[in-house]
């Protein structure tokens, strides 16, 4: 497409960037270790009054002025008391209950509640506690470390976690510098950017965003209504970023053309095989996946990587 677009490529060698000093903070270590500890917690069913930290399974029904609220009923709904995942006050009503007990109560929904259908209204709840469970977390000691892998002591495991966190920071910093370098190229280049390309990049950004929020179980339209926005609002807000992304993409392609960067068949094959290794059944994956599309994507990914490696090699990074 660069053949159809007028582009006067700016300098892409001798660019400058500053590498930030990286450090794993104590709070990051604390959170990471707590995550591991909690992930190995044992869940034990108890016949005791509900208290904060307990894992529960409850049946509930919600009504507003006598009418059942849409999606306001659930059976064996799991929750951990104290995480605040429900309407304010809901979890407080469950404290002290035992498995098998039922309770009815009313709560007023805050006016600023995200679900505008019930915001500011009084809701009537009917709840039954089915299961009360305690989460027993292991002690952070040598024995626990040994259960996690090839570690002799807890200090060995902590060092492994710290190294992993530091490597993540290094990877993120590498990506930040790469973006900074290609942004400099785009700013120094003269590009006659057609509207169609900006629109295409905007659509890519929207699709990426839809995929991202769907991982949290959110519907795109529901999210837009919650933030009181529209698809056109997003596009207007993201237009400048879309232009920047489109220019960077064109510059990468132009650098690859100028430097004659072309992946070999072997490189493409190896990279595709790495991608296919992610699937449990490789042969089945080959039949179900669009291999032509995968090859095109793989070729583009290799070109991008080689261009960024070139920019890094030729840049002055301090």
Say which range, 70-79, 119-128, 180-189, 215-224, has the weakest mean pLDDT: 215-224
Last residue of some domain: 136, 167, 188?
Answer: 136
The residue segments making up the domain with residue 292 are 7-23+159-317
Q: What is the mean pLDDT of residues 95-116?
A: 92
Gap between the Cα atoms of 175 and 186, Å rounded: 16
Last residue of some domain: 136, 167, 202?
Answer: 136
Report if residue 243 sits inside a domain: yes
Q: Report residue 149: phi and psi, to 5°.
A: 155, -155
pLDDT at site 2: 47
Residues 251, 185 contacting (CB under 8 angstroms): yes
Q: How far is CA 47 from CA 82, 102, 103, in A?
A: 19, 15, 17
Say which range, 83-92, 211-220, 298-307, has the weakest mean pLDDT: 211-220
pLDDT at 111 over 80: yes
Q: What is the mean pLDDT of residues 284-291?
A: 84
Q: What is the mean pLDDT of residues 141-157?
A: 97
pLDDT class of 229 with cuts at 50, 70, 90: confident
Q: What is the mean pLDDT of residues 95-109?
A: 96
Does one domain contain both 200 and 171? Answer: yes
Query: Nearest CA to 12 among 317, 318, 310?
Result: 310
pLDDT at 1 over 70: no
Query: Nearest CA to 235 among 201, 212, 261, 259?
Result: 201
pLDDT at site 228: 83
Any idea what the CATH number is for the domain that residue 127 is in? Answer: 3.10.50.40
What's the pLDDT tens digit per position in 240-253? 999 999 999 999 99
pLDDT at 199 over 60: yes
What's the pLDDT tens digit per position in 41-57? 999 999 999 999 899 99
Residues 6 or more apart in contact with residue 101 via CB below 8 angstroms? 128, 129
pLDDT at 3 over 70: no
pLDDT class of 280 with cuts at 50, 70, 90: confident
Query: Nearest CA to 77 among 91, 66, 65, 67?
Result: 91
Among residues of the chain, what percentage have pLDDT more than 90? 78
Report if residue 33 sits inside a domain: no
Report if residue 2 sits inside a domain: no
Any idea what the CATH number is for the domain that residue 288 is in? Answer: 1.10.3120.10
What residue ranges in 112-236 does DSSP mark as E strands?
122-136, 190-191
pLDDT at 285 over 70: yes
Report if residue 234 sits inside a domain: yes
pLDDT at 278 over 90: no
Does one domain contain both 180 and 272? Answer: yes
Report if residue 147 sits inside a domain: no
Report if residue 32 sits inside a domain: no
């Amino acid at each position: 497409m660069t053949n159809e677009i007028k582009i006067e490529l700016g300098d892409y060698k001798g660019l400058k960037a500053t590498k930030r000093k990286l450090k794993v903070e104590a709070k990051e270590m604390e959170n990471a270790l707590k995550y591991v500890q909690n992930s190995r917690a044992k869940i034990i069913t108890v016949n005791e009054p509900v208290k904060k930290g307990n894992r529960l399974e409850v049946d509930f029904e919600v009504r507003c002025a006598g009418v059942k609220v849409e999606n306001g009923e659930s059976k064996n709904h799991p929750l951990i008391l104290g995480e605040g995942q429900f309407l304010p006050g809901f979890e407080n009503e469950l404290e002290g209950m035992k498995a098998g007990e039922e309770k009815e109560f009313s709560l007023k929904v805050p006016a600023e509640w995200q679900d505008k259908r019930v915001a500011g209204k009084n809701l009537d709840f009917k709840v039954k506690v089915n299961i009360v469970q305690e989460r027993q977390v292991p002690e952070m000691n040598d024995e626990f470390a040994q259960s996690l892998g090839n570690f002799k002591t807890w200090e060995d495991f902590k060092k492994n976690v710290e190294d992993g966190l530091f490597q993540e920071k290094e990877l993120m910093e590498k990506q930040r510098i790469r973006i900074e370098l290609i942004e400099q190229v785009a700013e120094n280049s003269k590009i006659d950017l057609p509207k169609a390309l900006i629109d295409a990049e905007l659509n890519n950004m929207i699709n990426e965003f839809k995929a991202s929020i769907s991982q949290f179980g959110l519907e795109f339209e529901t999210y837009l209504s919650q933030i009181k926005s529209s698809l056109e609002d997003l596009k207007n807000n993201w237009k400048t970023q879309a232009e920047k992304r489109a220019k960077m993409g064109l510059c990468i392609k132009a650098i690859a053309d100028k430097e004659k960067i072309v992946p070999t068949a072997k490189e493409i094959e190896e990279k595709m095989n790495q991608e296919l290794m992610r699937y449990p059944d490789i042969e089945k994956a080959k039949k179900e996946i669009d291999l032509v599309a995968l090859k095109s994507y793989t070729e583009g990914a290799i070109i991008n990587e080689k261009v960024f490696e070139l920019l890094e090699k030729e840049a002055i990074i301090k």
